[in-house]
């Protein structure tokens, strides 16, 4: 898998969440994603960026444009140094919410992308990596 380009964006304010969402949409358009796939990726990015801000106390989003065997994709990595997620299985369960996001939660975000990985340690922060392939 090759990375064609990358960019990192801070997520420290509500405005940063909006800017992250706009950046992801721009990259999805550039990569040639369908409108449906653009919407899925932007929705997942919005939810994960909000989690980074609200639950992680802020952090960053890394975007990478990928190519592999003739296909293109976008990898998003959301990272914070917050309290971590004590029970990942519960957090991934449908309907589980702790705040006022879009209500999708981590489980909903996972369904909107092709690849989903979460690494978290209590007191050390959380890293969520997602990939959406065209």
Tens of pLDDT, residues 73-132:
999 999 999 999 988 888 888 666 665 555 578 998 999 999 999 999 999 999 999 999
Query: What per-residue confidence (pLDDT) applies to 95?
Result: 64
pTM of the model: 0.92
Tokens of 66: 């990928």
Give CA–CA dist 96/118, Å, rounded: 16
With residue 15 as reference, give the H or E element that holds it.
helix 14-30
DSSP single-letter state for residue 56: T
Beta carbons of 82 and 127 less than 8 angstroms apart:
no
E-assigned strands of 1-134?
2-11, 59-68, 71-80, 115-121, 125-133
Give CA–CA dist 63/78, Å, rounded: 9
CA-to-CA dists, residue 57 to 27, 33, 114, angstroms: 26, 31, 27
How remote is the C-alpha of 31 from its chain's centroid?
17
User: If pLDDT is split at 50, 70 and 90, which confidence band does 52 have?
Assistant: very high
Burial code (b: 16+ CB inside 10 Å, e: under 16) for 57-78 equals: eebbbebbbbeeeeebbbbbbb
Beta carbons of 77 and 113 less than 8 angstroms apart:
no
């Amino acid at each position: 898998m090759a990375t064609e380009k990358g960019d990192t964006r801070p997520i420290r304010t509500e405005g940063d969440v909006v800017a992250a969402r706009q950046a992801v949409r721009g990259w999805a358009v550039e990569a040639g994603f369908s409108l449906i796939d653009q919407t899925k990726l932007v929705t997942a990015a919005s939810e994960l960026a909000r989690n980074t801000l609200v639950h992680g106390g802020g952090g960053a989003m890394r975007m990478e444009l990928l190519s592999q065997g003739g296909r293109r994709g976008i990898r998003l990595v959301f990272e914070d140094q917050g309290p971590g997620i004590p029970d990942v299985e519960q957090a991934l369960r449908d309907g589980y919410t702790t705040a006022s996001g879009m209500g999708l939660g981590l489980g909903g975000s996972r369904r909107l992308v092709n690849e989903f990985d979460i690494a978290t340690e209590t007191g050390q922060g959380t890293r969520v990596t997602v990939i959406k392939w065209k």
